[in-house]
Amino acid sequence: MEFDPFLLARLQFAANISFHILFPTITIGLCWVLFYFRLRYTFSGDKAWEYAYFFWVKIFALSFALGVVSGITMSFQFGTNWPGFMERAGNIAGPLLGYEVLTAFFLEASFLGIMLFGKDRVSNRTHLIATALVAVGTSFSAFWILSLNSWMQTPTGYRIEDGVFFVESWWEVIFNPSFPYRFAHMFTASLLTAAFLIMGISAWRAMRGVDGPATWKVMRTGALMAAVLAPLQVFIGDLHGLNTLEHQPAKIAAMEGVWETEKGAPLTLFGFPDEEEKTTHMAIKVPNLASLILTHEWEGEVLGLNEFEGESPPVAPVFWAFRVMVGIGMLMVLTGWWSAWRLFRNRDENRETQTWLLRALSVMTFSGWIAVLAGWYVTEIGRQPWVVDGLLRTADVVADHSSATVAGTLFGYVLLYLFLLVSYIATLRYMATKPARSLTLTPQQRAMNDAETAEGEA
Amino acid sequence: MDLGYWLPLFFAGAMGLALLIYVILDGYDLGIGILLPFANDDEKDVMVAAIGPFWDANETWIVLGVGILLIAFPQAHSIVLTSLYLPVTLMLMGLILRGVAFDFRVKAGDKHKAKWNRLFAFGSLAASLCQGWMLGAFVTGLTGDATSTLFAALIALALPALYIMLGAAWLLIKTEGELFNKAVRWGRMAVLPMGGFLLLISIATPLVSSTIADKWFTLPNAIGLMPIPIATALAYAGLIWVFNSKQILHNGYGWLAFVALMVLCVLASIGLAYSLFPDIVLGQISIWEAASATESLLFTFWGAIIALPMILGYTIFIYRVFRGKATHLSYE
């Protein structure tokens, strides 16, 4: 089977960005959670919050490192694989990425050192501020990169001369129509991912009886976040969808599997989209619901894929990814409410009576990852065949490498990423079974501690 | 004032500066990564502690350097990165491995520590070799012919030697006792190969590129350039002197070695900038031909002149917070 380099380049970018996004998704949200732990400790003096901070800051550090190194890869990918994009849209993409480096990358990378290792070297207040600055840095980073991504989805504020984009208004470029929705959606997704991660790992610790003083406190923090943010995310997602309908109707048509424009369109809950025959097999449909959701009118008109001949995205992946995202979102709402109810009622901290909740939460540990990936597949595959929606085709900006070159490096990346992903999850598991304080001791120190304990017991 | 003339010049300078800072800062932590297998387990922890709070920010300078290439010179960015596809990819994999090994080695449990130590060293070496290869290919204008490839291979070996020197010099600042003595030995072993490479590169560069030969050897420029090789020779002599003087080393002036290496790096980059200017890809495209639209450059310019001093400010702050000898890293 002959692979064309264009497909391989897309797969490579997809592999890189999919691996990369896992870690910022955790760190953007987790950093604010850490700041919250740190604040709680500062104001209450309760050692449990300090313990929570130092347990989670290690997981944060590991996730952050994975995010940084895979992010460096991303910054090179534009040039190595998509040179045409920078040549054509560099006047717009360049400064946005530049501001990300200048306002976010250095801020987070620099103060991370203090956040991780500086507790004894700076005052409590400086340490608190350093933690806040890292959180601000990660959020700035999300701001700029999502602004660029949104501009590629809904370009405004530009003019084109000889195929090259020039900026007319920076305000319109940065705050393009889909940006506020995408930023809110992703930021909330990040907080939710962090919420389910901290709940999941805490639940796992509780089940195995290796919980420290903060485990249930952390679980309750996560439950509260999930109970509030998951329904909020459904609402934001709906707004984002309506915004997409206005600006990228082809993407919506693919998400909903609407082949022909119709009034009072039914909502396809499930089915197998078939692009050859332009139909969805075995579709389970709810009459008029798609029109109601999308246009907020019973008989509203929904544009079908037939309107976008040759300019519509591949249907099946978008259709499926959307259902995965929504499905997990719904699960998150239910789990969020359930865990808030179970954990706050009587503040029950008994693993015997909470068995089912703890199991469910452990299973949901990485649910945020799946939902985020699915969501990004919807929006990115849904933008195809364009790299800048309606203006610049992805196929026109790809680098001219041989299939063998791209396939070889793709293979290398995939192997490396699988290895790292397995290592990451295995390490989280390992860390979750250890009480926090032993994690940073060297073998010598640990031996000394053991000796001291033995002496004390004797 | 003609912004279309000055802004590309400003960004070329900023890019050069970012890459120079990268070579010095990430150079020492990559160098320590390469040296890691030669230390015992306890020393390994101290070596990692000596770079722990810094490496993340150090690595950000290459993102800034490539970022400026992308922001200010998108045409050159495409030419450079597509030509260097393979070394860039391998370098990235090296950087990925070492960056994560840093965290995994202490978090994945003792039975995996040796594996992550090896990956840390391997990743550091791979990234350094590839960076040298990239630099070599870049200096010869990305032509990719046989002589240029040979030249790139030469620099691919030279850069790790420089990084090892930087790493050893950094350990003189951050460590004491037996590890300090080891760092001295490592430095003494690496200093001659590094000097040899430096000399070879200086001889080979004008031979490989006639454009550069013209820039170096035409009068009166040749006379104006004389301070560069003279200062380089002096800094190199100073470096050898520091590593061999017990008085200097044992009275806490080991940091002079790092200063000498910084001077060498600055001189080399001045030489490089002079050799390339006004081209951003030698013989292919000048900084003005490759530059973005002026209004885009201006927008980034304002951000840069506000943010860069702040970045330098808090970088200095971080180095002050973590000054002094490194001990075992602890989060708590």
* Interval A238-260: pLDDT, tens: 889 888 888 888 888 888 888 88
Q: Phi-psi bin for A28: left (phi > 0), alpha (psi -120 to 50), beta?
A: alpha
pTM check: above 0.95: no
CA distance linking residue A28 with residue A192, whole number of Å: 10
Q: Using alpha carbons, select from A152, A190, A97 the residue that is nearest to residue A382.
A: A152
What residues of A are in contact with residue B300 (Cβ under 8 Å)? 94-95, 98-99
Residue B141 lies in a domain: yes
Kindly report, residue by residue over A51-68, the tens digit of the pLDDT: 888 889 989 999 998 998
With a cut of 60, say whether residue B293 has pLDDT above it: yes
Touching A: B residues 148-207, CB under 8 Å: none
Q: Tell if the CB–CB gap between B296 and A442 is shorter than 8 Å.
A: no
B89-92, long-range: CB within 8 Å, 24+ apart, which pairs? Answer: B89/A80, B89/A409, B89/A412, B89/A413, B90/B126, B90/B130, B91/B126, B91/B127, B91/B130, B91/B131, B91/B134, B92/A72, B92/A73, B92/A76
DSSP per residue, A56-71: HHHHHHHHHHHHHHHH
For B128-165, write each residue's pLDDT tens digit.
999 999 888 888 877 778 888 888 888 888 899 999 99
Q: Which amino acid is at A269?
A: L
Both tokens of A378, joined, read 């919807």
Q: What is the pLDDT of residue A457?
A: 43
Domain CATH for B143: 1.20.1630
Per 3-state DSSP, chain A is made up of helix, strand and coil in percentages (nearest 5) of 75, 5, 20
Average pLDDT over residues B203-220: 80
Which 78-107 residues of chain B touch chain A by CB within 8 A?
A: 78-82, 84-86, 88-89, 92-93, 95-97, 99-100, 102-104, 106-107
* C-alpha to C-alpha distance for B99 and B52, rounded to whole angstroms: 11
Q: Could you tell me if residue B330 is inside a domain?
A: no
Residues of chain A with pLDDT under 50: 1, 438-446, 449, 452-453, 455-458
Of A22, A53, A24, A28, nearest in space to A124 by CA: A53
- Residue of B7, B25, B46, B56 to mutate, testing the A interface (most A Cβ within 10 Å of its Cβ): B56
Instruction: List CB contacts (< 8 A) between B43 and chain A.
Output: none
Q: How many angstroms separate the CA atoms of B140 and B100, rounded?
A: 33
CB-CB under 8 Å, A76 with B303? no
Domain that holds residue B156: 9-321
Residue A229: the pLDDT is 94
Residue B240 maps to a domain: yes
Test B307 with A92 for CB contact under 8 angstroms.
no
Question: Residue B331 and residue A166: Cβ atoms within 8 Å?
Answer: no
Mutation site, A37, A133, A423, A437, interface B, largest B CB count within 10 A: A423
Across B64-68, average pLDDT: 87
A vs B, Cβ pairs < 8 A, gives: 233
Which residue of chain B has the CA closest to A60?
A: B103
Residue B332 resides in a domain: no
**Tokens 């909903």, located at residue:** A256
At B145, is the secondary structure helix, strand, or coil? coil
Where is A35: in which H helix or E strand? helix A5-44
Cβ distance of B41 and A94 shorter than 8 Å? no
CA distance B117 to A389: 46
Name the residue among A69, A95, A164 with its Cβ closest to that of B300.
A95
**A-proximal residues of B, 254-313, CB under 8 Å:** 292-293, 295-296, 299-300, 303-304, 307-308, 311
CB nearest to A69's CB, from B88, B89, B99? B99
Q: What would the pLDDT profile of B320-331 be if each residue is shown by its tens digit?
A: 888 877 776 655
pLDDT at residue number A452:
47
Tell whether B29 is covered by a domain.
Answer: yes
**Tokens read off for B88:** 């860039």
- Count how many domains chain B has: 1
Pairing of β A262-263 and β A301-302: antiparallel
- The answer to whether B303 contacts A98, with C-beta atoms less than 8 Å apart, is yes
